[in-house]
Amino acid sequence: MHLVVKVCSFISFVILFRNNIYNKNLGVSETLVAFIVKAVVLEPQNDFQVDRVLATDDVQRLIDLCVKRLLDNKSSSLDTIKMQVYFDMNYTTRDEFLTEHRRVLGKKKQNNFKI
């Protein structure tokens, strides 16, 4: 039950943060937002304690830190994170690839035999 509450709180935070980002006209996915939030929370210098619920001030500080990180156009680490997220979202397993390939080949065969 405690884990479910933390997950729901995290999801709520991601949605709140994403809305904050959209207000600044930054087009980012929920996956990228979740990745950035996790990275910021886990950085020791930010002093977030993951074993307790965040206070309102902590939530705002977390949002500010995440927005700052997303606005840093000169950050090579942000580019790397974006590439990782893109790969994670677009990666298909070998089985998925082969299944799709067989489906496409099956359609081509059906079209070739139509009279």
Distances (CA, A) of 68 to 27, 64, 71, 94: 14, 6, 5, 38
Q: Structure pTM?
A: 0.59
How confident is the model at residue 10, as a pLDDT? 61
Highest mean pLDDT: which of 18-22, 52-56, 79-83, 111-115?
A: 79-83
Confidence class of residue 20 from pLDDT cuts 50, 70 and 90?
Answer: low
Q: Cα(98)–Cα(40) distance, rounded to whole angstroms? A: 38
User: At what angle are helices 2-23 and 56-71 packed, to 10 degrees?
Assistant: 50
Confidence class of residue 47 from pLDDT cuts 50, 70 and 90?
Answer: confident
Backbone torsions φ then ψ of 92, nearest 5 degrees: -120, 145
How confident is the model at residue 45, as a pLDDT? 93
How confident is the model at residue 1, as a pLDDT? 35
C-beta separation of 46 from 3 below 8 A: no
